[in-house]
Structure 1
Amino acid sequence: MNLVSKIFKEAIIQKENEYLKKNIKDKWRLNFHIMPPVGWLNDPNGLSYFKGIYNIFFQYSPFETEGGLKFWGHYQTKDLINYKYVGVSIYPDEKYDCHGVYSGSAFIEDDKLYIYYTGNVKLLGKHDYIESGREANTMLTVSEDGINFSEKECLMKMKDYPKDITNHIRDPKVFKYDDIYYMVQGARKYGIDRNNDIGEVLVFSSKDKRKWTHTSTIHTKDIFGYMWECPDLFNLDGQDILITCPQGVKQVESIYENIYLSGYFLINDDYKNKESIEVNNFTVLDRGFDFYAPQTFLDENGNRVIIGWMSVPDTEDIHKNLTVDYGWQHCLTIPRELSFKNGKLYQKPHRNLEKLREKKIFENKYSNNTLSDNLIYNDINSYEVIIDNIKIDNNINNFEILISKGLCAKYKDNKFILEFVGDTGKTIGGGRNKRSAHLEELKNIRIMADTSSLEIFINDGELAFTTRYYPLEYSFKILGEMNITIYKLSSFKFNP
């Protein structure tokens, strides 16, 4: 640890301790989600299961609730239930990352944890920081215990990337196939003019994890956004899948509704041996208001797991996050197991989270429920709802859930809708309105509700809707014929 990181460490610990000493009664602090100790959190990074321990790093700005200089905060857990806060593990303390330790990934080999990330540098002067003024350096640091890291190595600078790429290239994700290492990075390619810049993913290969060569580019036939962030390429159940986050795609109701998207392409061509790979038919991963920058990893049983950031960038003007008043902002989603079937990705809460079920508080086997029946009361702010055997009469609007006053979910005309309604909805939604998706048939629903977050999984994870919300009271009412089981959920155990 050099002098710069030592100074940062002392200042961060002081800031975190000041927050703890205030002992603010924070009604929005979450029970079973990872949050920043103080300040700002965004992308999950370096997700890995290493030597019997899960490592969950995250983008962390401890000094600013609205974001600022980026560090990597770090939690560890053996079971995804009991957590230890390690502190800040990677600091912006070198000339190659002095303006931010940006997103990256973990790769495990030879009992070592290899951390690849983007080192952000902004130059002084008159720059637009797109075509000039920014350096995006691909960095590496290695650990043998998940706690202590080696001196940093700068593996690639701007001169090492393709010449048709702007200064925006970032978020390396590394994996291995046969005896070759591969890295994907998100990029913004020069277009005809600034308004026509092109988002794409660059594929690099290496034989030693350090010397990288650009070997392939993944792109669409027509321009699909100006920048693709946070790429993640993996094979699941025999299908190559590219997850990425396109910026600049036109918003379309019930299809592409968020300002920036997060989803995936299926790759049916050999990216390992072809210089150009065309993909199409982008599918959104989560149809709610708050999901971005996801990253996948393998759990202790070899299951592909995904965790996302429960927010979307540049939405401050349309979403007032009420946690800012308490000195922190944002959280990560719960870990979700992925599977590939019927030509699409399915996601469901990780099986370990069933250990959070404290007690069953409601069970109703196939009966007609009305919106007059309140199934949750204000003394329970974290719960799980399982709904199945749903009976739908397409001629009658007979399925609706009121998730506290002002927030409802309903199925109507082959569309699933999550909506903040009325004046109360404007308050508890922080300014958001409605999200929806086409759905041929509603079979089952699983809801994971925390104090100020909501994650809904439909038809065994065929669709997911994630949102932050700030209820005036905790309640749950439902209309329709179905089976319902509700569990009260306990909290993650955090060792500060």
Structure 2
Amino acid sequence: MTEREQELIRLAEEEVEKNKEVVEGDPYRLRYHLMPPVGLLNDPNGFIQWNGTYHLFYQWMPFKTGHGAKFWGHYSSEDLMNWKHEPIALAPSEWFEKNGCYSGSAVEHDGKMVLFYTGNVKDADGNRETYQCMAVSEDGVTFDKKGPVVELPEGYTAHFRDPKVWKKGADWYMVVGAQSEDLTGKVALLKSSDLKEWQHLGAIAGSGMNGLGEFGYMWECPDLFELDGVDVLVASPQGLEADGMKYQNVYQAGYFVGELDYESGVFEHGDFIELDRGFEFYAPQTTLDEQGRRLMVGWMGVPEQDEDKHPTIAHKWVHALTLPRELKWVDGKLLQVPVEELTLMRKDQLVEQSDLQLSDDGLGLVIGGSKAFEMSLFLEKAVATFEMALSDTVQLTFDASESVFSLRRKSFVTGEWETRSCSLQALTELRAYVDTSSIEVFLNGGEEVFTARIFPDGTAHERITLSGVGKIGELRVWELEG
């Protein structure tokens, strides 16, 4: 470790200690989600289970609640529920990363953990250079930087970042988020036999490819994996115009399902589908764990979407990561399911009721001002309308006649109600994970998901009100302990 890296890490640690009291004194501090100890958190990085332990890194700016020369923060866990904050993994100390250790991934090779990340470099005039870099660890905590292993291939601008690496057969592959010289978003594919020398195979997806038409000026944070016989490409395109209920956030995160021909480098795929219909979800990353599960974590935020207006900034921090989700491919649908380990967070059961008839009068459930709880709700298939109000901050609604489900929240910017919606033919199951200042809603076994930051007055969720036309077969609410 160089003296410059040691100095940057020391300064970051001092920032954590100096602001610890004000950060932890925030009533909106989350109970069971991963957050930065100070400053700004964004993309999840290097998600891996290595020697039985889960490791989850994240983009981190410790010195302010805005973006800048990012570090890699680091959490580890034995069970995806209890997380330990590890020492800083990467600091932007070297010439090839001086303006930020940007997003990347992790693999296991020869018993070691190997990180790949983007070294961001800018000159005095703001001109950008980009390098895909490697760092190696024998203990999963301290990392030896090996420097750049991929320089910018021909045909792209310097917006070339976020390497995701995996092994197929005897070879290694890497996808990188990119912008081509015609200023359209792409995903580039590279190949290596040793993780050090990489061959650029070309773009496999992007704006203007595979019948997609115009589809954004930059694609970030790609991730490609096989799931139950299909290849899934996750990407976060920038520059999409809103289209009805779709693409309502500033930037999007979603996936394509298809088949990658590893010999020709051709990826035939279908339509782009958003992963999460809520207000805050971006830059997700997946890993394959030792149980064979494909797990995913996303950033509970969106770039340039009122980031400077979050109430937590007054307490010197902003943003969080989503709960871990298991991805499943069932009957031609990609499902997202909260990982099974989250049931271990259940503490006291606050509500257990069955055979509840909905009415316009509304059914009120007092949950004792709990700040963190899970709700599990099963509805009869014949439910015509459904509305759930959480205190005065969030409303979940379903209208069978319109086949529309919506999440409404009080804007933390204007105080007015704002809405995100999706098409849904029927509502049969709803699971909601509510934390002090967030909500994640899973519909019909993970068929649709909504994630949002919420900031209720008084920071407590005093009451749930249910109304509509139909019947609730079973309703349970548990207080959660992170």
What TM-score, normalized by structure 1, do the two folds share?
0.91
Partner amino acid for 2:172? Y
Partner amino acid for 1:298? L
Q: Which residue of 2 aligns with 1:470?
A: 455
For 2:238 and 2:472, locate their aligned partners in 1 and report how far apart those are by CA, in whole Å: 40
Shift of the 204–426 alpha-carbon distance from structure 1 to 2, 3 Å rule, reads: closer
Say yes or no: does 1:149 pair with 2:143. Answer: yes
- Compute the RMSD of aligned alpha carbons: 1.8
User: In the TM superposition, what are the counterparts of 1:409-488 in structure 2 within 5 Å?
Assistant: 409-412=396-399, 413-420=402-409, 425-427=410-412, 433-472=418-457, 473-474=460-461, 475-480=463-468, 481-488=471-478
Q: Which residue of 2 aligns with 1:284?
A: 274
Partner amino acid for 2:236? C
SS at match of 1:352: helix
Contact 1:360 1:487 in 2 (8 A): yes
1:269 deviates by 4.3
Contact 2:235 2:253 in 1 (8 A): yes
Say yes or no: does 1:18 pair with 2:18. Answer: yes
SS at match of 2:6: helix
When structure 1 is superposed on structure 2, of 284-293 and 335-344 the one drifting more is 335-344
When structure 1 is superposed on structure 2, of 285-294 and 431-440 the one drifting more is 431-440
Counterpart of 1:209 (choices 195, 201, 207) is 195
Contact 2:96 2:147 in 1 (8 A): no
Counterpart of 2:216 (choices 215, 220, 225) is 225
Q: Provide Cα deviations, 1:257-286, integer angstroms capped at 9, x if missing partner.
A: 21111000112341x112443534100000
Counterpart of 1:404 (choices 382, 386, 391) is 391
Unaligned runs of 5+ in 1: 128-132, 192-196
1:157 deviates by 1.8
Q: Provide Cα deviations, 1:446-483, integer angstroms capped at 9, x if missing partner.
A: 10100000000001000000000001141211114213
Contact 1:184 1:233 in 2 (8 A): yes
SS at match of 1:433: strand
Contact 2:45 2:103 in 1 (8 A): yes
For 1:275 and 1:486, locate their aligned partners in 2 and report how far apart those are by CA, in whole Å: 48
Contact 2:437 2:454 in 1 (8 A): yes
Shift of the 431–214 alpha-carbon distance from structure 1 to 2, 3 Å rule, reads: farther
SS at match of 2:87: strand
Shift of the 107–24 alpha-carbon distance from structure 1 to 2, 3 Å rule, reads: closer
For 2:291 and 2:84, locate their aligned partners in 1 and report how far apart those are by CA, in whole Å: 21
1:383 deviates by 0.7
Contact 1:419 1:434 in 2 (8 A): yes
Contact 1:186 1:229 in 2 (8 A): yes
For 1:428 and 1:39, locate their aligned partners in 2 and report how far apart those are by CA, in whole Å: 20
Contact 1:392 1:399 in 2 (8 A): no
1:216 deviates by 3.6
Q: Which residue of 1 aligns with 2:303?
A: 313
Unaligned runs of 5+ in 2: none
1:375 deviates by 1.7
Partner amino acid for 2:442? F
SS at match of 2:148: strand
What TM-score, normalized by structure 2, do the two folds share?
0.93
Contact 2:107 2:166 in 1 (8 A): yes
1:341 deviates by 1.6
Q: Provide Cα deviations, 1:369-413, integer angstroms capped at 9, x if missing partner.
A: 45643324352011111111335454xxx3101022142111111
1:485 deviates by 3.0
For 2:186 and 2:164, locate their aligned partners in 1 and report how far apart those are by CA, in whole Å: 14
Shift of the 338–429 alpha-carbon distance from structure 1 to 2, 3 Å rule, reads: farther
Say yes or no: does 1:377 pair with 2:363. Answer: no
For 1:463 and 1:316, locate their aligned partners in 2 and report how far apart those are by CA, in whole Å: 24
Q: Provide Cα deviations, 1:194-245, integer angstroms capped at 9, x if missing partner.
A: xxx2111111001111100011422233221111100000000011010000
Q: Report the number of matched residues.
A: 469
Shift of the 426–264 alpha-carbon distance from structure 1 to 2, 3 Å rule, reads: closer
For 1:449 and 1:428, locate their aligned partners in 2 and report how far apart those are by CA, in whole Å: 20
Say yes or no: does 1:339 pair with 2:309. Answer: no
When structure 1 is superposed on structure 2, of 278-287 and 384-393 the one drifting more is 384-393
Partner amino acid for 1:443? T
For 2:24 and 2:383, locate their aligned partners in 1 and report how far apart those are by CA, in whole Å: 48
Q: Which residue of 2 aligns with 1:138?
A: 132
Partner amino acid for 2:334? L
Contact 1:320 1:430 in 2 (8 A): no
Say yes or no: does 1:262 pair with 2:253. Answer: yes
Q: Which residue of 2 aligns with 1:130?
A: none
SS at match of 1:170: strand
Shift of the 65–155 alpha-carbon distance from structure 1 to 2, 3 Å rule, reads: same
1:67 deviates by 2.3
Contact 2:45 2:105 in 1 (8 A): yes
Shift of the 404–205 alpha-carbon distance from structure 1 to 2, 3 Å rule, reads: same
For 1:213 and 1:300, locate their aligned partners in 2 and report how far apart those are by CA, in whole Å: 29
Q: Which residue of 2 aligns with 1:194?
A: none
User: In the TM superposition, what are the counterparts of 1:21-420 in structure 2 within 5 Å?
Assistant: 21-22=21-22, 25-125=25-125, 127=126, 133-158=127-152, 161=153, 163-191=154-182, 197-219=183-205, 220=209, 221=211, 222-270=213-261, 272-316=262-306, 320-370=309-359, 372-394=362-384, 398-412=385-399, 413-420=402-409
